[in-house]
Amino acid sequence: MFGISALDLARAQFGFTVAFHILFPAFSIGLAAYLAVLEGVWLKTGRQVYLDLYRYWLKIFAIGFAMGVVSGITMSYEFGTNWSRFAQKAGPVLGPMLSYEVLTAFFLEAGFLGVMLFGMNRVGRRLHFAASCMVSTGTLISMSWILASNSWMQTPAGYTIDKATGRFLPADWLRIIFNPSFPFRLVHMGLAAFLCVAFAVGAVGAFHLLRDRRAGRAPTEPVRVMFSMAMWMAAIVAPMQILAGDTQGLNTLQYQPAKIAAMEGDWESRGRAPEILFGIPNMRTERTDYRIEIPFAGSLILTHSLDGKVPGLKQFAPRDRPYAPIVFFTFRIMVGLGMLMFALGLFSLYARWRGSFYSNRWLHRFALAMAPSGFVALLCGWMTTEIGRQPFTVYGLLRTTDSVSPIALPGIATSMLVFVVVYFVVFGAGLLIILRMMAREPEIGETGPDPRQPTRAAGQHPGPAQGQPDGMGGHALPAE
């Protein structure tokens, strides 16, 4: 049918659902950490503004988290529905790791999420803070396990292969978990999650700064504090991410040279290679057209020496090459956005120094425009990683064509269609709800997400009742 195979659709469906999924976990990982920090600072200083910010973001967190959970459940079953042969061969290695993720992370998040959302008045402040920390820890543990799995698929280690069945047999669990690319990916992904949230929070702050200014109001304290915290994160974490990305590139050069060649758009292996800034890799003619390049820079960046040898795609048989045009561009978008983030960080430092941090409209506009930058960079990074691993699911060992389930095309096409519709409707609605909540300015005496609040029962908000310190707040307010 139109030259599309069941395999293509199985891949498209998996890529689509996982790409949706990863947006929410990244948001949850970053936001949970931010919330734990806010609550900790509130406990330490007793300043109302941190509690207000905590409650403001907690309500948004609840929505994002729910979407992360439901989209994640889909993922854990799609290994079986779409990749049954992969599941049978790699399950002995990856399945137990996923089970450990459930037991050490998902239960931890779920167990303490209820307390975090609704329990402030039931358990007291310190235990509540402990619950927030547990949820945040859970998201970080979850990230570690899933990245260990994914890294193992990129750089497998610690296994043997059973001749008769072609199955991977675990031989050394420590080497499986701490496989060669895991530490690099973990750092890069963790920083990416923090950047996603830093730029989202910064953009919300910038939005209210701009709006208040237009309305001739002075911005409230929560708005100023959140913008400032976000810009500190940007200034500090963006350069760290660039360093982390660079080391990750060195690791990939060592273990997945074909991927590096595709990311760079290089066809010939050579020393003193140029860095191609722009071009269009052409898989048929085996060259990169319309190139703009910097001489020697390719070798310099990848090997940190002028005549270091850089791999080219021709070194690999055509059937072992990843599809370069996509990888080439997703990689450049990610790196470009990383540079822009760095630039915004520098700009914010400059504005602070000049004392125009809360009044410089260009700074606020820039920050607002960067709202989705973290998420876009994140998706581009993942696509580089995953598509660059093709045509293998377990790099160099198990081909994607040998991983797919024996499912007929019409069935998978139908489910693909349903997935697309449902995801856009449901998660689109969720995004709208989140944006609407972000468009509302945080208030002094912000209420919590307790569903039994009278404002809710009346079915309406934001009403004046929102400002009342009741529900989750009540006597938990610090005595001032």
Contacts by 468-474 with C-beta closer than 8 Å and gap 24+? 469/445, 471/447, 472/55, 472/118, 472/120, 472/121, 472/447, 472/448, 473/51, 473/55, 473/120, 473/445, 473/447, 473/448, 474/121
Binding track over 29-48 against ligand HEM, x by CB under 6 A: x-------------------
Instruction: Retrieve residue 307's tokens.
Output: 């005549």
- Per CB under 6 A, contacts with ligand HDD among 393-432 are 393, 400
Please classify residue 55 by burial: count the beta carbons closer than 10 Å to its beta carbon, then call 0-12 exposed, 13-18 middle and 19+ buried. Answer: buried
Using CB under 8 A, pick the residue from 22, 51, 58, 87 that binds other proteins: 87
Out of 86, 152, 382, 395, the only residue in the binding site for ligand HEM (CB under 6 A) is 382
CA dihedral sign of residues 13, 185, 369, 223: positive
Q: What, of ligand HEM, other proteins, ligand HDD, none, does residue 406 touch, CB below 5 to 8 Å by kind?
A: other proteins
Q: Does 69 help bind ligand HEM (rule: CB under 6 A)?
A: yes
Beta strand 159-161 with 168-170: parallel, antiparallel or unpaired?
antiparallel
Question: Tokens representing 24?
Answer: 């929410």
Residues 345-384 that bind ligand HDD (CB under 6 A): 379, 382-383
Binding-site size, other proteins (CB under 8 A): 85
The nearer residue to ligand HDD, 80 or 478, going by C-beta atoms, is 80
What is the pattern of x (binds other proteins, CB under 8 A) and - over residues 146-165?
Answer: ----------------x---
Going residue by residue from 195 to 214, which x/- string records binding to ligand HDD, judged by CB under 6 A?
--------------------
Percent helix, strand and coil across the chain, each to the nearest 5 = 70, 5, 25
When asked if residue 251 is in the footprint of ligand HDD (CB under 6 A), the reply is no
**Structure-token pair, residue 31:** 């936001």
Enclosing H/E stretch for 293: strand 287-294
Burial status of residue 65 (CB atoms within 10 A of its CB: 0-12, 13-18, 19 or more): buried
Q: Which does 206 bind (CB under 5 to 8 A by kind): ligand HDD, ligand HEM, other proteins, none?
A: none
Asked if 72 interacts with ligand HEM (CB under 6 A), we say yes
Indicate whether 19 belongs to the interface with other proteins (CB under 8 A). Answer: no
Confirm or reject binding of residue 193 to ligand HDD (CB under 6 A). Answer: no
Q: How far apart are alpha carbons 138 and 194 in whole angstroms?
A: 15
Query: Does the footprint of other proteins cover residue 405 (CB under 8 A)?
Result: yes
Q: Where are the alpha helices (DSSP H) in 46-82?
A: 48-82
Contacts of other proteins in 120-149 (CB under 8 A): 121-123
Q: For residue 28, state whether it binds ligand HDD (rule: CB under 6 A).
A: no
- Residue 86, CB half-sphere, CA atoms under 13 Å: how many? 24
100 binds other proteins (CB under 8 A): yes
Where along the sequence are the contacts to ligand HEM (CB under 6 A)?
18, 21-22, 24-25, 28-29, 65, 68-69, 72-73, 75-76, 106, 109-110, 139, 142-143, 146-147, 185, 188-189, 192, 195-196, 241-242, 245-246, 248-249, 252, 259, 334-335, 337-339, 341, 374, 377-378, 381-382, 384-385, 388
